[in-house]
Structure 1
Amino acid sequence: MYEFMSNGSLDSFLRADGSRLDWNTLFQIAKGIARGLEYLHQDCNTRIVHFDIKPHNILLNEEFIPKISDFGLAKLCKWKESIVSVTGIRGTAGYMAPEVFFKSFGGASHKSDVYSYGMMVLEMAGARKNNNSTSMSDTYFPDWIYKKVEGGDDLGVDGVTTEEEEELCRMMVMVGLWCIQSDPLERPSISKVVEMLEGSFQSLQIPPRHFWSSPTRSAQSTSSSAIDSSNRDKVLTMQA
């Protein structure tokens, strides 16, 4: 028997033809998902790496409390081992971490879920939808939103009408950018993500601009990618 999730998937509220959730609800959903991942990564007897975190796999109950679903690609990971042995591609293009494609970025791990979470949070904040550039794929939207954050510019996100909403939006964007750092060591643990979301916006620092250009859905199997490899060996204090 399963709990009935009356509000369906988060994906339905992010589509252009769907109903838009208010910013406080979106923010609380983002925190709830982070706490759910924290349970999988930190509180289970055996760490569980989901490998397919995306809006379609987040279900919402009548109070918009999120639940992570679809564990078909999940892997168990022993506590003393940070790297998960995987064969083939796991996840959905656009949300997959670079190390899932290329071993040169490091092995797949719980930090791969953090990357997927970051891409999803940026989408929740509207960063992907509002990148209307015709000269580049939507895959590159992190670079677009980073420039706005770095310059202190208006994010141009729909539905932001108050200072409180602007702060929630910027907080989600900032956390998302931290989570999608190309080097897994530069990403925060999911516990740190929860801490960031429960803290103040003023305490957040702008992350390095180290993003990987992931393949589009139409070019998943043949894509090759590049990254600004400067300071690849830099390990931040935010690592797990």
Structure 2
Amino acid sequence: MDSIHLILLRIFRPILDVTCAVACTAYENMGCNCTKEKLVLNSRRFYVQKRLGEGGFSVVDLVEEGPTGKLFACKRIMCHSKSDEKVALEELEYYRRFAHPNLIMLEESGMIPRGDICEVLLVLPFYRRGMLQEALDKLKENGQHYSQTQLLRLFKGICDGVRELHNAKPTAIAHRDIKPHNVMLADDDSPVLMDFGSMAPARLEVVGRSEAIALQDTAGEKCSMLFRAPELFHVESHCVINEKIDIWSLGCTLFNMAYLYSPFEPIYMKGDSIHLAVIGRNFKFPETSEYAPVVNDLISSMLVVEPMERPTIEWVLDQVNNMTAEMENRV
């Protein structure tokens, strides 16, 4: 480099440095997404802000849409095979199938090829209030509980979403993994059932040991143990699995919402067999409760080992509505 170039560089380098610094600061103040990963789905641009969570089969990122600045949660499912892709697309179809205030709704979707694999993207609403489980954890930390009115209102919303699934046409759908972790809280505090990755046709006839083992393995992967119905722990070689598995999970969920732990959590914490506890219906209500006895009666009616003896979602909702009406009449 000759002397004149060196002189020019000494003169203009400080100016360039300041100009770059000012430009970068301006971009940051404007919320610039230049350095963030960009996802383009059907001409809509989403910029990844941060990782919200990771599961066994997917991750969830917080994304911001440009130029609106609206925040969403993007579920990203990496598919390493055609079978993985088929499962992801089946989940996508479940999101597309339902539009109900108590079921999470799909905002946008797409598929991005990445070499020999692909990524299925599901853009979903972002709930600032977070999961129902987080609200329960906060209550526990503060030594509080939901009032019976709050408890029944939240539970009714969850049941309304489940009824939409169980009454789906032409085929009833079971969620198969209902639990407080899979319920989001909207800004108006209404519950929204999420995570459709465990969904399947509600009624399934199992014929033969190989089918039974396959369903049992799937349940082990996708259905949380503390909320899993007895018939999914050991699937019989010849049986029919139906939507009553969700009723069991609803019983565990209502218990968890009322008493801030799963009915079988004490067994789990001791390291004893959850399977034996579930089929033996080995759980206990707290000795003292601020709720009316009918709340425990409702939980007990759902936590019945024999599926045929469990109530339907319609019956459960009738009981919740009757309990709510009785409380209102007292006031």
Pair 191,138 (structure 1): closer, same or farther in 2 beyond 3 Å: farther
Q: Quote the Cα distance in structure 1 between the aligned partners of 2:196 and 2:177.
A: 8
Name the aligned partner's letter for residue 107 of structure 1. V
Structure 1 partner of 2:125: 3
Q: Which residue pairs with 1:178 in the alignment?
A: 301
Is 1:95–2:227 an aligned residue pair?
A: yes
Q: Please state how far the C-alpha of 1:41 moved relative to its aligned partner.
A: 0.3
Letter in 1 for 2:217: G
Q: CA deviation at 1:20?
A: 4.5
If each structure's strand is expressed as a fraction of its own residues, which one has the higher value?
2
Is the counterpart of residue 13 in structure 1 residue 135 in structure 2? yes
Q: Tell me how far 1:87 sits from its aligned partner.
A: 5.3
CA distance in 1, matches of 2:157, 2:301: 18
Task: Describe the SS at the equivalent of 2:192.
Answer: strand
Are 2:184 and 1:59 equivalent residues in the alignment? yes
String of CA shifts for 1:29-51, please: whole Å, max 9, x gaps. 11111111011001444211111
- 1:6 Cα shift? 2.8
Give the corresponding residue for 1:194.
317
Could you tell me how far apart the structure 1 residues matched to 2:271 and 2:298 are? 24
Q: Distance in 1 between matches of 2:270 and 2:197?
A: 36
Alignment of structure 1 residues 198-217 onto 2, 5 Å? 198-200=321-323
Q: Deviations over 1:178-201 (max 9, x none)?
A: 111000011001111111111149
* 8 Å Cα contact 2:174-2:243 kept in structure 1: yes
Alignment partners' CA distance in 2, 1:173 and 1:196: 12
Q: Structure 2 residue aligned with 1:49, among 135, 151, 174? A: 174
Distance 2:196 2:323 in 1: 33
User: Corresponding residue for 1:117?
Assistant: 250
Q: 1:103 offset after TM fit, Å?
A: 2.7
**Percent identity over paired residues:** 23
- Structure ranking higher in helix proportion: 2
Deviation at 1:129, TM superposition (A): 6.9
Q: Does 1:38 align with 2:149?
A: no
Q: Name the residue aligned to 1:208.
A: none
Deviations 1:128-181 (A, max 9, x none): 479979989696586322xx7xxxxxx423xx3xxxxx32xx333221111110
Q: Is the 8 A contact 2:216 2:234 kept in 1?
A: no
The aligned counterpart of 2:196 is 71
The aligned counterpart of 1:143 is 283
CA distance in 2, matches of 1:83, 1:117: 23
Contact 1:121 1:173 (8 Å CA) reproduced = no
Q: Find the structure with the greater CA-based Rg.
A: 2
CA contact (8 A) 1:95 1:119 kept: yes
Contact 2:216 2:233 in 1 (8 A): no
Matched position secondary structure for 2:141? coil
Q: Distance in 2 between matches of 1:57 and 1:10?
A: 8
Secondary structure of the 2:198 match is coil
Contact 2:132 2:183 (8 Å CA) reproduced: yes
Matched to 1:28, the amino acid is R
User: Contact 1:97 / 1:112 at 8 angstroms: preserved in 2?
Assistant: yes
> Could you give the per-residue CA deviations for residues 48-93 of structure 1, whole angstroms, max 9, x where no partner exists?
111110100011101211111001111024xxx5647735242001
CA RMSD of aligned residues (A): 3.4
Q: Where in structure 2 are the equivalents of 1:126-141 lying within 5 Å?
A: 126=259, 128=261
Secondary structure of the equivalent of 1:59? strand
1:25 and 2:150 correspond: yes
AA partner of residue 321 (structure 2): E
Give the structure-2-normalised TM-score: 0.48
